[in-house]
Structure 1
Amino acid sequence: MARKKAWVPLSGVKGIRYYEHEDRKYRGRPDRYYAVRWSRQGKVKEEGIGWASQGWVAADLITMRNQLQQNYKQGETPTTFKGLMEQREKKRRAAKAAEEEETLRAMTFRQFFEEHFIPWKRDRKKRRSWTDDVKRANHRILPFLGELPLNAITPELLHEFMDAMYEDGLSDGTVLHHMAVIRQTYNRAAVTTVDGNVVFTGLSPIASVELPKLSDNCNARERYLTKEEADLILRTCRKNSENAPRSTAKASWLDMHDAILLSLTTGLRMGEIQRLEWSDINFYGKTLVVRKSTSRKPGGTIPLNSSAMTMLKDRKTRKERAALVFPPVFGGKKRENFSHLFKDVVDSLGLNDDATSESQRIVFHSLRHTFASWLAIAGVDIYRIKSLMRHKTLAMTQRYAHLIPDDSREAVELLSVSND
């Protein structure tokens, strides 16, 4: 004959009791099964809850019972432990799904490329194809885009990536090969699911990028800002910061202003500005250091003019606790991309209204091109420009040589011959 369960009241707590299983152990003691009693409209009701080994503890039962009593008095639901547990489980599943989706939205280009794209392509393509993709990614794509979430990469940023490749002297065909890898990665992300969620939704950023044609010979960015246009952009950013309704928006616009000024006066790329730390700034020597990296562009020491020094000193006062010169406005470890705000400014001022090709459009990378162009116009020799731009070869700097004023006209005038 089966032994009758010996129910024991929980010490000091009315309405909660348990019995212990003889053979079932939990943490070295007999496992406890809990039940709760209460009275509704003169009738006593009891619900079995669960085992201690399932995570149930007396404190949770007391909290839940108090909540049920409150719900009953206020005419709200649920009014049973079963209903409350179902409600909590529903919320738990919803929270877990939201967390999984948020994690998915934060998946970086590098993570998807290495964990999903390459394994998929390796199983379906010839070895030469996927190994070439890995080489292109490791050498250029991942250092430039790898740490950004897939949904944070914009068409403007991809345009800057192409500019950087042309700046390094790459051909149209090579640029297209790299952009093809990016396109394929996004196409695959749009049909890849993790825990039932699609990795990337929406329009691929590369769909809005004007890619070079193999017949084109002038893909390098041509347009640079005039002094008046640069001043207008800076004034607009400061005005937007002053008129912004929220502190985060004010900070974003002020950061945009300072980043533009820094790029115009040093030639720093957007990624270099975003990675810049206060330890890289030498206020006494009026220089900053772009750190060398095997996976990024060449580093070097850059002189700072008075405009850059004044701006950085002001930022130091406001951001003294941050390691980054441009720390994230909205928290987190990474500085948000400047492309969106810069495009908003340029579009609002109509600076790209007359552009008929990608090379004529003003993007953030145009600031670096402007820096070199202004140096050339001011008469700085090509070797000094190469050093300040940190170009690997002189050929990369030669594109600015035609802007350097020379004395050719004055020289030939010396050879004037009488026409009498």
Structure 2
Amino acid sequence: MSALNWKTVPGERGVYVRDYGDVQIYRLQGSHMGQRIIDNLGPMTLDKVKMIRETLNYNRKNNIPPFTYKDMIGEKVATVKAEKIVQEKQRKVILKEEEKRLNNTVSLFWENVYWQHRLELRRSLKENASIDGRWRNFIKPYFGEIPLQDLEDEHFKNFINNMRKRINPKTNTVYSDTTIHKCLTDLRLCWNYAVEKKVVEHVFPGKAITKEAREEVDNEKKCYLDYDEAKELADLVYERRLNSRLDHDTYCYTVLGLCLGLRAGDIHKLNQQAVERHIIDRTKNKRARFVHFGFSPVRSMLDERLNMYPPANPLEPLFLTNSTNSKGKMRTEVPHLYFAIIKELGFNEKPKRFGHALEKIDFHALRHTFATFAAMAGVDQYTLMKLMGHKKPDMTNRYIEIADAHQATNLERALPELFPVTKQEALDE
């Protein structure tokens, strides 16, 4: 078709049209940089033609591409294509995440990744056996098929409710809160490793639920020695202290536990500098605290120790041997020998402790014994809290178990004689 067939649109400069009745085809004529430009627009409405004309005129006037309708269409096509590419990439990412989510159920991650990692840590066989038992009996049946990323608070609440209704076939009672808390702790450790491996990103969803379950656990140990037992233990370790360095270690540990209430971990790291300063820096709660190393039995023991086995320097631990544990850290054999001594003395076989796990005597029982004896001697709660290195009095109260006889003595001492005591002879008359 020749240009003569195009007709100008009245009132619209540079706009031409061919009218085919049902269809109108438009073209634009203009110029840019002294060159004539013809844009064939094709069939469309006049309003759209005017919009395109205004856009092209603005671009040409300000020298901003595109300058032609063809370039404008090409740019639009390129934009649409780029958007499709982005959408396709996003779709693939979503599909990959969904596949990853479905393939990372609690069961698959635990058995294929986490448990292998735990075995590499070389934890005790007994501990691993306990965790594996809780996994097979409690955790896997409930959480196993749930994708890790889908775990929510509701899952943990339902698990706790189900466990509290479940009957233990061995005892014919419901499972304790301690068992529930241990299961949740096992799952939390698995989750933390998943975060480390970047399988999941957010914090453990059952954190608040686990904290509530822990607060409901009654694990306040009530293991302490009475005076006769403490005396028997002290005499035995004192008598054997010169047999070997390990026996002397055991004697020192016993003195520090009974007379100062030190934890085994505090004694492990004890050095000559701490003794001279009467300060322990690296405690369990990360706070330095005063320790009365000048207490006569403690001072006597330390003087003997420093004379018999002087450290190479003031910062060297006083009691650690050259042996190491599975992680390569130095350790002491005292706990093993201590358990043998407790077994030899038969403390845990006594009727008052038989069948009560919380009453069993271990090394930490010396710390309980120290707190108990101090309270019986009249040491006030605040002072005892400082001696024990606690932040709150509530924690100190967990260590204080006053003997029944001592309670009765205090009661008689505190209350005046309200009524005259009638002697049996008077009644007989």
TM-score by length of 1: 0.45
- Structure number with larger C-alpha Rg: 2
